[in-house]
Amino acid sequence: MHHHPHLQSHSYMTTPHITPHILHREYAARADDDSHNNLMGKELGFFSQAGFDMDRVQLKRNAPVAQLYEDAIRYEGAVLSSSGALINFSGKKTGRSPKDKRIVYEPESKDNIWWGSVNIKMDEHTFEINRERAIDYLNTRDLVYVFDGFAGWDPRYRIKVRVICARAYHALFMNNMLIRPTEEELKDFGEPDFIIYNAGQFPANRFTKGMSSSTSVEINFKRMEMVILGTEYAGEMKKGVFSVMHYLQPVKFGQLSLHSSANVGKAHGDVTLFFGLSGTGKTTLSADPSRDLIGDDEHVWSDTGVFNIEEPEIFNAIRFGSILENVVYNPGNRSPDYNDVTITENTRCAYPIEFIPNARIPCVVNSQPRNIIMLTCDAFGVLPPVSKLTAAQASYHFLAGYTSKTPGTEDGVLEPVPTFSTCYSAPFIVLHPSRYAKMLAERMSKHNVDCWLVNTGWVRGKFGSGAGRRCPLAVTRRIVDAIHDGTLKTAEFHTFEPNTFGLEIPTAIEGVPSELLDPRRAWPDKTAFAREVRKLAVMFGKAFKLYEDEVTDEVRAAGPQAS
């Protein structure tokens, strides 16, 4: 069995040696007191229907965090870091397996789903085989963890989620991700709306029809269940919950689920939604000392306001009660090294929202957004640091979901790589993207919301050119402040590249060098600039072909026009 190099020194004993503690006098009674974990009445019946051998399996329901820590350390090789966070190892899979995500093709939901490479079809029979396999595996475990929690902070639109898994670390991860019920809510939890069977330690059978590997992550909207086989990456559960919310919010509740961060001004209570793919500065810019964070990943824009689907994440929250996944640590002092990427570049941290300063608890605001900021990191240096979008342009850029990645310089390729991720969250979109875009446009016009495209990428030149530089964070912060204090709304605007991009850009913002605001002025090499403008416009055109048939002529015409 291969362990991480820093774990080699541990000797694994079948019966761990336990230091005798000086125990509380009621300890013996407490240890036998199962009131916290006992699944009485209804729920017990539910588990026997699902095929759990109740005489054999010990179910731990919503176990205390400390107990989950102890189990993860004792049975799963987890390690406590110097800050008190738990370091876990997810095994071979250190990230999502998008090619292994399936959605069951069944009559109730088939017409709503955007089928294709993001949502791959699976037949109901194969789902039943995998479901049975997962439950059979969980039945062979001595310990099975159950976590019941809510997705969504607004009681009107939240859903009840039950996670059934065989690793304490998975239970703890979902304890941090989902909204934890009070004791009263737990007692009256009743039947869940959605169940996740996580048998990730056990592989799928590759000979089962439709299996492309020993990993399978599948969702059945008729059964409202998710089955995980062959991956212990905890993020699969979180993304499963998001996928279900991206389906249920529009279909069942008529509300708009979004992959965005959101914050609210302390002084005026004005809400801003930030869209952006990784590397665009979404988390950095939504953490603002003058504003409260509603959340930094997934939200619902409802008829009454904005609420977080889960518990948000940010660095200084990494302490006891949080989980570090696949982080290399120093065995001497247990301090994690976040810069060491020998296991994976995609290290993760999950923790409860109370750990975050400036977090708005509960994570729900009963007022409509005033601004939407779409972030992009354009390494071609073409897009202006800020543009004001029309409603049609907002729909276009939301559907395109553009950013670019800078290549590692060592491979000699100096050309940035464009990324188009529709709705800024392609892997989790379940309905056709135009459905979310239409709802976004309707809500924007109804509530008179301003939309801004902010480029945190290159200015004065493209990535890798002599003149090109990343737009300074201080400049971007100044732009965001001008959006929030209302001065940008009343600024004077002119049209940037009217024949291609046609974006409205401000002539001046206090505290920002005015030549930076217009890329054509900022670039010393005008010929190179014209070439990049045309190149980027063509890239947008190609990427948008996927959505052309589903949108109005006005939205189609709002994008960059390549002559």
Contact of 232 with 238, CB cutoff 8 Å: no
The Cα 557–Cα 21 span in angstroms is 72
- Is 348 marked active-site? yes
From 246, 348, 360, 388, the catalytic residue = 348
Length of the chain counted residue by residue: 563
From 283, 302, 395, 456, the catalytic residue = 283
The Cα 362–Cα 554 span in angstroms is 39
The Cα 457–Cα 275 span in angstroms is 15
- Which residue type sits at 78? A
The Cα 497–Cα 560 span in angstroms is 9
Tell me, letter by letter, the H, E, C secondary structure of 165-207.
Answer: ECCHHHHHHHHHHCECCCHHHHHCCCCCCEEEEEECCCCCCCC
Contact of 376 with 280, CB cutoff 8 Å: yes
Q: Residue 405: enclosing H or E segment and its boundaries?
A: strand 402-405
Show the tokens assigned to 142: 């001595």
* Residue 319 CB neighbour total at 10 angstroms: 13
The Cα 352–Cα 354 span in angstroms is 6
- Is 17 marked active-site? no
- Is 291 marked active-site? no
DSSP lists the bridge partners of residue 164 as 146, 197
From 259, 397, 435, 460, the catalytic residue = 259
- Is 96 marked active-site? yes
From 60, 96, 160, 438, the catalytic residue = 96
From 48, 140, 278, 335, the catalytic residue = 278
From 162, 282, 388, 443, the catalytic residue = 282
Show the tokens assigned to 434: 């135009």
Q: 3-state DSSP call for residue 371?
A: strand
Cis peptide before 362 (omega within 30 of 0): yes
Residue 112 to residues 119, 180, 546: CA-CA distances in angstroms? 12, 31, 17
The Cα 359–Cα 12 span in angstroms is 40
From 296, 297, 378, 450, the catalytic residue = 297
| Residue positions annotated with a catalytic role | 96, 239, 259, 278, 282-283, 297, 348
